[in-house]
Chains A and B, each alone.
Chain A
């Protein structure tokens, strides 16, 4: 057995005597005898560190990670961007890693100030005034944004572009189903072959005017990588007096118009690309920013600057009256534990990239994607599934399905993309393949990828 409890047998005896009981079992006398496990848990006894490590190495060897086994052309909400040693080193400082939520501000200035800097940078990326201290992931940020809009407007209809990440939409619908009176989700399809939201299909529906929406939700770039007509989305939101919620991407934000300047009152996003490894999908980082008018409805924690008794600058979690521990069933959200460590890592990553670096990786990703797209479109039978402008990610169709392409290219050492299977594809885009190219893909890798792709689609 490995035990991290330090007590020696002699100490245990002494403590039991001090308490006035004769055995450890007696400490549990409040547990009815009929509920006690007679022979303990039916799992193996503990093992030591070397055996533990060996077992997990075995598990790890049964996976095909990016870098060691596969070159990554997959995105779909999880991207292979550069994570430098400095981000890994600072985000694994054990003072950050092993702290709890900063309830005692006087001994938590490190986490609090890092979050203040994170909030500032996220607000700047989003082009909005405030950001919170993080949510679980992109899907969670979307759910909270919709809850905010419903509460702020007192309306129930929500128009959600089918270009929003399908897994996030599924999470939203899972939760909305339980509150069918206050949350009526309408999914607005994408224009076939083009890939941007076809708002007119919703506008012309019978209930569009009788039941004006609480929010218009659009992703830019969307799940197919396409840039949306933000003027159109914003005009639509204004015309209906609805909140505009934009799901944005923190990397392409280096060159693309920000949600705020496009008219959004709430911006949400997945922050994994800001310094977190692919991690088989978690822990990731929910980005959430909004305009000042909604600050009292923000879900989760916000750090504010203030002073201490001696008027020195200090930081503290603030507007606490919104939160579950004080407001209970009337809280703006139930979130308690969030993703602070990922937020600190993102702050380090954003500072490491800096103003020029973020724009640079966005630009380099766009260049790589262009180069890759041209190479793939040169292959007979391959065409774009969506023709709207893209940045880092694009969707193609080929004579064989995306699933088959991914399957065949694994043996060539590529994770070729995210297959647009029936479960996740926006209507009309089934069978395609979503290809993402980050600043980490070299020309040589893309050339080899295109060659393998040609083989995979012609077999």
Chain B
């Protein structure tokens, strides 16, 4: 019998139907499989511009022979595809995300709404300062509150994430030593440090010296002193450290570093625990990076964007990346012309700190000793001995706006409550899980705790990763697995302050249930098979690395090659 179907029904490739049963375990086709040649969804402005032929516009030798092949889909199919993908994704908005070190707290919607304001989102970064007074004020005010929160003197907003902040901080460290004609080669980091720390040290041209932690999980002061000498440029720490423990010897550590002329660097990943309680600047740190996408609740976007501003003590301010947003100084008692659009501040009788001869504030209310005072207008200024630039423009501005909104909403009282509740949740959880999981460093924690599944592995062959996968079935994102490296079968749990006591209790119950189950007959077997209720089951990572398929085209090529 004749096949009555239309050609599009019989098409062997492309144009897969775009519909799926609710919450299925079925594959989601790629956008390329939904694609049908000459289907379109774009729609553009009617401009009435003469339709010059391409050949007249661009010489032939520069042209591409065919346009790059992207997907060709209807808007409807496009929306269905990405909506279904979003349904295959766990997120903070879906549920608890106790991923240690990542501070996956709730991201307030009002901050997103603020970042979407046209007056913020639609500003071109090359606009003259007269068009960006709102943005410049935001940067400067954010700098001022971050200085207060960290106890530091100034902040650069350029670094786009924590790791970029680390590199910036290390370049500042280098510039400082070089300004003293001191050539140093090593940076000390504890063995519990995050991987970005040593990687950034290497990128900054330094060698890493690792110092082992002591039996209490903190920096071993004696061992630290042994490796400290005048070849050491600095020490990188996070406090509380990656075990969630406060470095109680921090004052002595800072003194030891400063005694040999080294600087102390603060990895701000764990700042959430100490907001309003204590400050890195008071502990003796010279350089501090902040992860706004952790502590200050900017959403992490499935992997980014973030923002990693770097705060420094007074002696490092002159090395900061430029240009920096600054409050312009006005001559006291003189009339100031309106702010010109593009020209430098001098034409309006305005100045910046950098443009006045060593004009430091004399301490009283923004007054300076040169007859200038800080006004209400803003501009750019590049510090005399700036290390240079660390971003294509000024920093991840919309992330900065969200963080500033979060800080203003919380205020001093709210930020202290953040630390209180984060530490309360973590310590409650620690108490609940004691005896259920091993706690290699068994003492009160700050905002997170690290437990070990080593006993489960020895007795039943169940690894930390198996526990993590079982938790996914229980409706929780898993804790961080296998970090810090100094704990065998580590599970690093950070409940954050935005999870209710009920949710934290449910997490504890789930973890207890898993541990109990593993000890039963088939429990170990079940854990190793987990997760079974997720959109896909346990993923074959080894195959992904062995037979690399990073694009749809390489997949197609490999399939034709057999």
Contacts and interface: CB of A to CB of B under 8 A. Distances in A.
Interface string A291-311: 000010000011111111110
B334 interface: no
B522 to A, nearest CB: 17
A163 interface: no
Given A4-B105, A318-B541, A415-B124, 14 more contacts: A43-B145, A52-B409, A109-B28, A254-B64, A277-B121, A302-B550, A316-B544, A337-B291, A341-B299, A354-B41, A361-B42, A363-B57, A366-B52, A443-B49
A101 to B, nearest CB: 4
A457 interface: no
A10 B94 CA distance: 27
A354 B131 CA distance: 35
B306 to A, nearest CB: 4
B197 to A, nearest CB: 8
A168 B393 CA distance: 9
B534 interface: yes
Interface stretch (A17-25, A208-216, A234-242, A379-387): A17-25
19 contacts: A1-B411, A1-B414, A12-B421, A28-B423, A59-B137, A62-B119, A66-B124, A109-B85, A127-B68, A283-B397, A284-B392, A310-B537, A326-B195, A336-B196, A356-B40, A360-B44, A403-B342, A407-B342, A415-B131
Interface stretch (A116-124, A153-161, A187-195, A198-206): A116-124
Contacts of A11: 501
A299 to B, nearest CB: 10
A282 B391 contact: yes
* Size category, B interface: 35 or more
Contacts of B358: none
Given A2-B410, A46-B414, A344 B302 contact: yes
B391 A100 contact: no
B303 to A, nearest CB: 3
Interface string A44-56: 1111110011011
A67 to B, nearest CB: 5
Interface in B53-89: 54, 56-59, 61-64, 67-73, 75, 78-79, 82-83, 85-89
B105 A354 contact: no
A348 B305 contact: no
Contact of A304 (B99, B418, B548): B548
Nearest to A338: B304
Contact of A174 (B121, B278, B389): B389
Contacts of B552: 116-117, 120
* Size category, A interface: 35 or more
B366 interface: no
Given A99-B302, A415-B124, A41 B276 contact: yes
Contacts of B481: 103
A287 B427 CA distance: 42
Nearest to A171: B389
A350 to B, nearest CB: 5
Contacts of A129: 551, 553-554
Nearest to A166: B389
B110 A63 contact: no
B83 A304 contact: no
A442 B46 CA distance: 7
B68 A18 contact: no
A373 B358 CA distance: 46
B49 A329 contact: no
Interface stretch (B11-19, B201-209, B511-519): B201-209
Given A90-B83, A338-B304, A140 B409 contact: no
A327 B195 CA distance: 8
Given A37-B277, A116-B30, A442 B431 contact: no
A371 B59 CA distance: 17
B137 A442 contact: no
Nearest to A45: B411
